[in-house]
Structures are given as structure tokens and as C-alpha cells.
Amino acid sequence: MSIRKNALWLLVLVSGAYLFPVAQAAEIVRVEAAVSQSQSVMGSTVIPYKEVTLSAQIPGVVKLVAGEVGSSFKQGDVIVQVDESQVQAKRNAVLAQIATAQAVLQNSQAQYTRELVSPRSKDIGAMPGMGLPAMFDMFAVRPFADSMMNNYDSDMGRYTDLMGSASGVSQSQSNLQQAMSQLQEIDAAVRDAKSIAPFEGIVLAKMVEVGDTVQPGQPMIKFGFVKYKRLQADVPSGLVGNLDKDMVVPVRIDGNVSTMAKVSQIYPIADPSRHTVTVKFDLPVDVVAAPGMYAEIYLPERSKGDAKVAIIPRSALLSGRSLPSVLVVKDDNTSELRLVRLGSDQGEGMVEVVSGVSADERIVDHPPAAVSSGWMPPTK
């Protein structure tokens, strides 16, 4: 029976050794230096890769809205259409003007051709002719009038009649061209009555319904390309210098989706009132996110060229104190208690120290609880 008890106690002692490991002995270590991994968290919003606002181009009543918010459309599909009955009526009136202008042009061209072939100045019934036989009028009366009547020149009369006919043709052509231009303007208005998808995407917001009266410039639909998505953030101007185009930074979407995003665009100017710069980040294609979701972007606080920072083991922090502190070993092999300001976690049990200690200084690792300045680990 005693043998069983001894075996049982031995098993308990061995198990306890695994459950309650012996505390590691204190030792003196040097403060290391590493590149800072401190990050600032910036709030941002998921936005479509491209976004446009389709506005009304002509006044009228909305007679077609092809889909609701979230509806998908291909490039060239009609999304919204405004009633173009009034524009079509104007088009018919312009077509009538074109027909009239074409008839007037034909008549003007005929008059010009007649003047070329049979000038009115050669008409025997016109002044200075006297109604005499045409041969006598041509060879006797008109030459006499040209030589004796100083205020009459038959050649100048013919030139004037010819130019008048040519001017009539030119005016008719101008009237026809003006009517054709009006037709082109109305045809453009007819096309503008339809709001067409400029690219493949979905409806992000709908501001009108069938039956609404719209005016030129009034927004009707927000349309976006959401196959690819982006993040947009207003970054303080002091942090923008740490970013480069195509740089990759960690992000967290809606608090539960962690991924990486690439800097795609940095605006060249800052907001003068908030002193921030708009930056856009491209998200991976396979990330599940909807436009408008909240996202957090982790931006580096130091640029790549900055000096390295001090890092220490977390086990060197004194336990039981309200403020983080360590024991720093001085040159005379005595220790002093020093408060430190911690930065980001470096992983593998190391933490960044923003202030309090410097690289290559010596500190006490694994110090016992409740020790203070002057305590040193026992020499081996």
C-alpha cells in the first residue's frame, strides 16, 4: 500500500513540474535596435473602382427607370429615359423648315442658271429697248443707248443681275444649313433623353422615380464599377510622406476581414481646412466588401529612411506597476528604475520602446516582482 502511495505522489510531482514551470532566472541583456513597426490607424470607406452620376440633360418627365439600387447593367444599356415628346415635336417642325429651305434653294439655283443662259439685260422688252424687232434693238438701239446715255451700261446691268441671282443661291444654302444644324441639335437632345450605362456596373443610388419632373443637371442615378473596389481615406499631411505609390499596407474591413491594400493614388494637394490628403488604396479582387463599408488602414508612422528604434523583451518589464518600467544597468554595475514608453509589438516576445532606453544599453531581463533601483541579478 505504501508503494502505491509513493508512486502516486511521484506522479503528482512530475505532473506539477509540467503544469507549474520554474521561473526563469534574471539576467542582464542588451537593448536591441530594429526598424520601427509603429502604425497609425486611419478610418476609410470602401468605394467603387469607378463611379459616375447620371444627370438629366433635357427637361421633362421620367418615363423609364430600368432597375433598382443594386441592379446590374452592361455598357450601353438604357437605365433612365425622359419623355422626349416635346423634343420630337420640335424635330418635326425643323424637318418642315428643311423641306422649305430645299425648295427655295432649288428655285434660287434655277434663277441663277436662267440668268447665265438668258440674261434679263438682253430682254428686248426692257429698257432701253423700244419694243422694236430684236435684231434692230440689239444692233442699233442698245449700242446707241450705251454711247449716248451716260447713266446706263448694259454689261453692268447683266453683272448686277448675275450677282443678285448668285446671292439668292448663297442665302438659300445658308438657310438650309441652319435648319440642318437645328436638326442635329434636336437629335442630340433626343439621344440625351436616355441615360446610358458608360461601363459595366451596378446602380449605387437612385434619386428619381417614374413620373418625376426633372430639369437639366438634376442627378438621377449614381452608377459604379464594383468588380474592383478601393478604399479612400483622408490621411494627415504628416503621414503622407511615409507612403509611396504601389506601397502595400494592412487593412481591416468591417472589423473582421483582414487583407492588404496597395496605394493607387495620392492626391497632389491637401485640404486647406483639415490639412489632410486624399489617398486611394486598391483592394484585392477576391475581397468581399460592399461600397460604403467602414475600413481601417494601418499606416506606418516612420518612413523607410528613419533611424532604428530600441526593442526589448516583454519579460524585462517589471510586473505589478501601473506604468511600464525596466531596470537599467549602469556603467558601475548598479541598476536604476526607469519608466519607458512602449510602441508597437515586434513579435516573438519583443516590444518597441519609444522613449526611456536606447539601443546598446543594458537592462535586467526576467526581474523578480517588487524589486526596485539598485537590485542586480546574482552572479553565477
CB 299 within 8 A of CB 42: yes
Report strand pairing: 362-365 vs 27-30. Answer: antiparallel
Is this model's pTM higher than 0.85 or not?
Answer: no
Please spell the DSSP secondary structure of 337-353, one letter per residue: EEE-EEEEEEETTEEEE
Which pLDDT score is estimated for 232? 94
* DSSP 8-state symbol, 370: T
- Give the neighbor-by-neighbor strand order of the sheet with 335-339: 27-30, 362-365, 325-329, 335-339
- Please count the other Cβ atoms lying within 10 Å of the Cβ belonging to residue 137: 19
Cα→Cα distances 239→39, 93, 112, 229, 244, Å: 10, 63, 78, 23, 11
DSSP 3-state assignment of 35?
coil
Which pLDDT score is estimated for 200? 93
What residues of the chain score a pLDDT lower than 50? 1-3, 5, 7-22, 127-132, 136
- Please count the other Cβ atoms lying within 10 Å of the Cβ belonging to residue 330: 10
Which pLDDT score is estimated for 348? 83
Which pLDDT score is estimated for 13? 43
Give CA–CA dist 371/50, Å, rounded: 61
- Taking CB atoms within 8 Å and a gap of at least 24, the contacts of 302-305 are 302/35, 302/36, 302/38, 302/242, 303/241, 303/242, 304/35
